[in-house]
Amino acid sequence: VSSTATLGTRNVTVTNPDGQSDALAAVFTVLRAVPTVTGTTPSQGSRSPIAFDVTVNGSDFDCSGAMAIVPDVVFSDAGITVNSISCNGDTTQFATALVVNVTLTAAATTGAKNVTVTNPADSPGGTGFGVFTVRAEVPTALSASPDPKQGETVEVTVTGTFFQPTPTVSTT
């Protein structure tokens, strides 16, 4: 069956070489292809309260629905909040990208995550395994003290957020 075949029921006709034939009405149904998820752009993000867009790449995402119905996208971590999903202007049933606005909450665990796309009124969805990675929060240096004098050796204290144990500190 062609990947662009019209969805729906089909009749089957069998014709012998001598011309005799028989037909069966509505004997099978052409169903939509299961979506395929091949990756994400970006492929990783850090936990943060700031939302950002992730493009889910693949095939057979059905964006042809009326009333702006788009495929559903689920990340395999409850700490990843999907805020919105867009077909980015594609109105076909064979879209290859979805733009997903996400927030990686503090509850998101670090590591590789699966992404599943399910077309409207279809199941099962297609899953890309390990296509998005949650990283720990980005360290933010807020202050350093005291200010050393030339030629002086001092211990400088750097304060900030999201420092992991034993970070490397350097000056420029």
Question: Beta strands of the chain (E only): which ranges?
Answer: 8-15, 21-30, 36-41, 44-46, 48-61, 72-75, 80-86, 95-104, 111-118, 126-135, 140-145, 157-161
pLDDT bin (cut points 50, 70, 90) of residue 67 is low
Per-residue model confidence as pLDDT tens digits over 116-161: 999 887 668 999 999 999 998 878 889 999 888 888 888 889 998 8
Residue of 101 and 2 predicted with greater confidence: 101
Mean pLDDT score across all residues of the chain: 90
Per-residue model confidence as pLDDT tens digits over 101-119: 999 998 999 999 999 999 8
Q: Catalogue the long-range contacts made by 161-167 (C-beta closer than 8 Å, 24 or more residues apart).
A: 161/137, 162/136, 162/137, 162/138, 163/139, 164/136, 164/139, 167/139
Q: What is the pTM of this model?
A: 0.73
pLDDT at 170 over 70: yes
Position 42 scores a pLDDT of 97
Q: d(Cα 70, Cα 86) in Å, to the nearest integer?
A: 7
Position 115 scores a pLDDT of 98
pLDDT at 82 over 80: yes
